[in-house]
């Protein structure tokens, strides 16, 4: 990834049950700043979202938030960011985050985190982008999801060639190393038999 690259991080607006989640968010933020990779995220000051942004800023990095007006007015918007885009809808939020980013990482989080990640993965599958999508598997948080994804491959609802589009590591540095060397797989068709 080149200088001035930014990575979109999806994560919870809660800190979660384990202190390991907060620590992983901080480590990811510090690692992004160390590598001169900017952060793009949901713009909140709370939970893992606030933790990763604070770590980036405290480490001298750049953090950009994108938040819908309805959430910003509830005073959860982070006021110390380098840039904060206030948009009208969740759809606009996701589109702007994708536009500003060279890849997507999911820390632990809830339904919104999964929805955002799976939309990015679906766009990759359809060939709308060639950016890496990754899961930071803190304390095996995503182990059951990994097993379910394998089940989808086995049941032929997702082509096995797309397995390479999902990067998973338990350490931020290892995941970012894989992002740096990522090349999207070339698949002729996103579903059905390949042409011969």
Pairing of strands 166-169, 133-136: parallel
Q: List, run by run, the mean pLDDT of 10-residue segments along the chain (196 residues).
A: 79 97 98 98 97 98 96 86 96 96 98 97 93 98 97 94 94 97 80 52
Contacts of 89 (CB under 8 A, 6+ apart): 68
Residue 195 has what pLDDT?
47
* Two structure tokens written together for 103: 């890849």
Q: What is the pLDDT of residue 63?
A: 98
**Rounded (10°) angle between helices 19-34 and 172-180:** 40
| Residue 189, CA distances (Å) to 156, 194, 195 in order | 14, 6, 8
Give the model's pLDDT for residue 75: 61
DSSP the chain: --TT-EEEEE--SS--S-HHHHHHHHHHHHHHHHTT-EEEE--BSSHHHHHHHHHHHHTT--EEEEEEHHHIIIIIB-TTSSEEEEESSHHHHHHHHHHH-S-EEE-S--HHHHHHHHHHHHHHHTTS----EEEE-GGGTTHHHHHHHHHHHHTTSS-GGGGGGEEEESSHHHHHHHHHT------S-SSSPPP-
With tokens 């599958």, the residue in question is: 125
pLDDT of residue 3: 46
Q: What angle do CA 25, 111, 128 make, to 5 degrees?
A: 85
pLDDT of residue 161: 87
pLDDT value at residue 188? 67
């Amino acid at each position: 990834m080149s200088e001035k690259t930014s990575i979109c991080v999806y994560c919870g607006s809660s800190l979660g049950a384990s202190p390991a989640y907060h620590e992983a968010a901080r480590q990811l933020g510090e690692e992004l700043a160390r590598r001169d990779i900017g952060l793009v995220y949901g713009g909140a000051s709370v939970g893992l979202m606030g933790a990763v942004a604070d770590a980036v800023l405290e480490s001298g990095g750049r953090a950009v938030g994108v938040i819908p007006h309805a959430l910003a007015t509830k005073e959860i918007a982070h006021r110390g960011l380098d840039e904060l885009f206030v948009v009208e809808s969740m759809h606009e939020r996701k589109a702007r985050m994708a536009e500003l980013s060279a890849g997507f990482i999911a820390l632990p989080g809830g339904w919104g985190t999964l929805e955002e990640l799976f939309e990015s993965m679906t766009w990759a599958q359809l060939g709308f982008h060639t950016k890496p999508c990754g899961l930071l598997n803190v304390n095996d948080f995503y182990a059951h999801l990994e097993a379910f994804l394998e089940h989808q491959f086995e049941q032929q609802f997702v082509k096995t060639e797309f397995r390479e589009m999902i990067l998973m590591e338990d350490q931020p540095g290892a995941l970012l190393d894989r992002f740096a060397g990522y090349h999207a797989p070339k698949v002729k068709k996103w579903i059905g038999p390949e042409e011969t």
